[in-house]
Structure 1
Amino acid sequence: MTARPHEDAAVFDVERIRADFPLLTRRVHDKPLIYFDSANTAQKPAVVIEAVDRFYRETNANVSRAVHQLGEEATAAYEATRDKLARFINAPSRDEIVLTSGTTQAINLVAYSYALPRFKPGDEILVTTMEHHANIVPWQLVCERTGAKLKVAPISQSGELIVEKFVDALTPSVKLAAVTHISNVLGTINPVAELARAARKRGIPLLVDGSQAAPHLPVDVRALGCDFYALTGHKLFGPTGTGALWARKELLRDMPPFFGGGEMIREVRFEKTTFADPPHRFEAGTPNIAGFVGLGTAIDYVESLGRERIAAYEHALLDYATDALKEIPGLRIFGEAARKASVISFLIEGAHAHDLATLLDHEGVAVRSGHHCAHPLMHFYGVPATVRASLAFYNTRDEVDRFVAAIVKVRKLLA
């Protein structure tokens, strides 16, 4: 089964789209599920679930190893996803796409294979206050091993990167800059192309964490002008344990392997091993083959909806939800950037985030509470945690209305 085309550009038929997602029919605590946690992990359309199931039922074999029919079919399906990812982000070459377990592995690959061999005491790595831990901790580990230092560019109270401060921080000692495309807490869409131009002018490579952007925006790495771009499959409506790193070919060519093992080699001798060319140099061991087959199907599905149409629908839904939440007394929204994706983090005066999320769960509403893997950002706002509602193209205004009604009900219980 292939993804059903959604070709009518004039109508974004959300009810038809919702029918593609089996889990959205669930009831939780005897109430219809309202799934507002897609920034954590997105739900999967039936075609993705079926693609994974079909791989195990009909094709299951290892890749790049066997010459039998199943092995050839598995390898072709796996490598097809590399091609789809290259087209999805407009990469110049499929050989610039390294398949990873997700954004975390992708960033660690750059940290250990690009940064660690190059950096020395006095060098700096520039990040921003709004970064996910996956775009902070690997750089801290590199700093500990090399004597380099982590530098942090500030944001405003509205949750926007102060661009001039970021550019000013691009001093000659900065050897790498790393920034999120969309904040997983604030929803802020950073001006990556502008940041990349400033970094390139100074000869500084820019890495972009695209975990939250890939599901919501058209991504074009050529237009962005960055040097590394990482994304995660499970937020892109695909299986967990999948993702990719895009990097410029000239950078990949000079990077040593991060993992060692099978299938990333050209020849192994006890005296010396020579390695495969990128990207396979960075793909040791048996990968999540079925997961990548599913990810390829997820990409087909998203493209059948149209990424521009997805972005427009989600933006309208975000505006609707934001306006409704602002009517609730005592509710504070964190992150009100001029350019924002469909993420709303908030607190209600006098209520702990975990209590609020737990009570909302009993109303059938799935939201996330906590620090969202962004401790420094929580410290910036002076709060231990927030509640985060993250919307996707399968959510509706009716769900927003029921969500707001549930908050009003819960607020009274917590008063």
Structure 2
Amino acid sequence: MNAYEIKKLFPLLDQQVNGNPLVYLDSAATSQKPIQVIEKLDDYYRRYNSNVHRGVHTLGTMATDEYEGARDKVRTFLNATSLEEIIFTRGTTTALNLVARSYGDDYVHEGDEIVITPMEHHSNVIPWQQLVKRTGAVLKYIPLQADGTIDLVDVEKTVTERTKIVSIMHVSNVLGTINPIKEIAKIAHKHGAVIAVDGAQGAPHMKVDVQELNVDFYAFSGHKMGGPTGIGALYGKRALLNKMEPIEFGGEMIDFVGLQDSTWKELPWKFEGGTPIIAGAIGMGAAIDFVTDLGFNEIEQHEKVLVDYSFERLADLNDLTIFGPKHRAGVVTFQLGDVHPHDVATVLDAEGIAVRAGHHCAQPLMKWLNVVATARASFYVYNTKEDIDALANGLVKAKEYFSDVFS
């Protein structure tokens, strides 16, 4: 199935914006949803909407079967060893906060080290900053190379015997950098540290095998891979999750509640207090089916073609700076001369082209790049070379519109 056929499966893309055909280049923020996911959500609400793990009636059983079936799809998707290792969360942010709170509070102490990088999304910076404040630990950063990549020599220098946690994004949401997770995990484990991975931009775009990578935690969000918003998952090694305490308490995560004390259910449910995001999990399961059927080799190759074509088309545009390495995932982040990225994005929107402008929840990286903000085009399975052509033509118009800046 080619990109033109795939695009027809996404109803939202068949519309005009400001009198022009919509060109959606903001999938790193949130992807559009295929009809299969939309219909799955509709089916749940129309046919078997019910709570899970509670009732013995037919609708409750159907909902529970679909919900836990979605968990099994996530397990297969990540190649986890057990369903117990898959925790449903509201998304990557919630998952990383769970690790910082549940694992970090118990196993990180004064003088210990937490290691991250300057390219991290705020969701993988602030939880560790807060953990440092609570514990008296030290937050350290692996330096970046000039092109925004990581040198394993620098990882070796930064991770020490005092390091307890290494947390790093699989793929940069700004630079498109694909980090060497397996090699970094080896270094972390050599020093007795655990590794947590922000997979928000990794899992939707490439095959993830948590056993092969040998990561301790891996977090991702459903809405960046064709699924609903507000749902994601945390993979954690069973031995670690068994030692961790829940951080949310209430219905369905309990085993026994007394007047003065309570005990918790076994994995994975001890981390899923309250009514879970049932429809979201079921919809994310449908999204996993969709991308798995497309095939990750095909998805990666398609995005590589789009990135290469972007570099080719945008190379002719003077005063355009593209940030990040040549070998990257499907993200092209740029700056057009001294024109503010918000102004560039506004001109592009007038042409029906949706890009992201701002700091992309990565202010430390913006400081490292020595910019206040950037514009970003990000691709997914439904994008075509014609979308890149539209972007290139739109940037020419933006340059003409702000010609006084370039005179």
Counterpart residue number, 2:369: 381
Distance 1:94 1:119 in 2: 27
Whether the 8 Å contact between 1:106 and 1:245 is mirrored in structure 2 is yes
Q: What is the letter of the counterpart of residue 236 of structure 1?
A: M
Deviation of 1:403 after TM superposition, in Å, equals 1.2
Moved over 2 A (4+): none
- Secondary structure in 2 matching 1:151: strand
Amino acid at match of 2:357: S
Q: What does residue range 11-410 of structure 1 map to in structure 2 within 5 Å?
A: 12-338=1-327, 340-410=328-398
Amino acid at match of 1:138: P
Question: 1:293-333 deviations in whole A, cap 9, x for unaligned?
Answer: 11111111111111111111111111111221122100000
1: distance between equivalents of 2:144 and 2:280?
A: 36
Q: Does residue 412 in structure 1 map to residue 395 in structure 2?
A: no
The answer as to whether partners of 1:342 and 1:391 remain within 8 angstroms in 2 is yes
Offset at residue 337 of structure 1 (A) = 4.5
**What code does the residue aligned with 1:336 have?**
P
Match of 1:9 in 2: none
2:103, 2:2 → 1: CA distance? 45
Which amino acid in 1 is paired with 2:180? P
SS in 2 for 1:150: strand
SS class of match (1:116): helix
For 2:82 and 2:398, the matched residues in 1 are separated by: 51
Q: How far is the alpha carbon of 1:354 from its aligned partner?
A: 0.5
Encode CA deviations 1:56-109: one digit per residue, 9 max, x unaligned. Answer: 010000011111000000000000110000000111111100000000000000
**8 A contact 2:7–2:13 mirrored in 1:** yes
In structure 1, C-alpha distance between the alignment counterparts of 2:33 and 2:148, rounded to whole Å: 30
Following the alignment from structure 1 to structure 2, what is the Cα–Cα distance between the partners of residues 296 and 195? 29
Q: CA deviation at 1:217?
A: 0.3
Q: For structure 1, list consecutive stretches of 5 or more residues without a partner in the other structure.
A: 1-11
Contact 2:107/2:164, CA 8 A, preserved across alignment: no
- Counterpart of 1:5? none
Q: Distance in 1 between matches of 2:314 and 2:253?
A: 51
Paired with 2:278 and 2:267, the residues of 1 have a C-alpha distance of: 19
What SS does structure 1 have at the residue aligned with 2:69? helix
Q: For residue 163 of structure 1, report the CA deviation from its aligned partner.
A: 2.0
**1:245, CA displacement in angstroms?**
0.4
TM-score (normalizing by structure 1): 0.96
Which residue is equivalent to 1:3?
A: none
- Provide, for residues 256-291 of structure 1, a one-character-per-residue CA deviation record: whole Å limited to 9, x for no partner: 011000100100001210001111100001111111
CA distance in 1, matches of 2:338, 2:187: 43
Conserved 8 A contact 1:159-1:337: no
- Give the whole-Å Cα distance in 1 for the aligned partners of 2:301 and 2:326: 17
CA distance in 1, matches of 2:325, 2:187: 25
Do the aligned residues in 2 keep the contact of 1:262 with 1:284 (CA within 8 Å)?
A: yes
Whole-angstrom CA distance in 1 between matches of 2:187 and 2:115: 13
- The separation in 1 between residues aligned to 2:225 and 2:251, in whole angstroms, is 28
Q: Is the 8 A contact 2:155 2:187 kept in 1?
A: no
Distance in 2, Cα, partners of 1:324 & 1:195 = 34
CA distance in 2, matches of 1:323, 1:123: 46
SS of corresponding position for 1:218: coil
Task: Flag structure 2 segments of 5+ consecutive residues without an equivalent.
Answer: none
Shift of 1:197: 1.0
Tell me whether 373-382 or 328-337 shows the greater mean CA deviation.
Answer: 328-337
- 1:118 deviates by 2.1
Identity %: 47
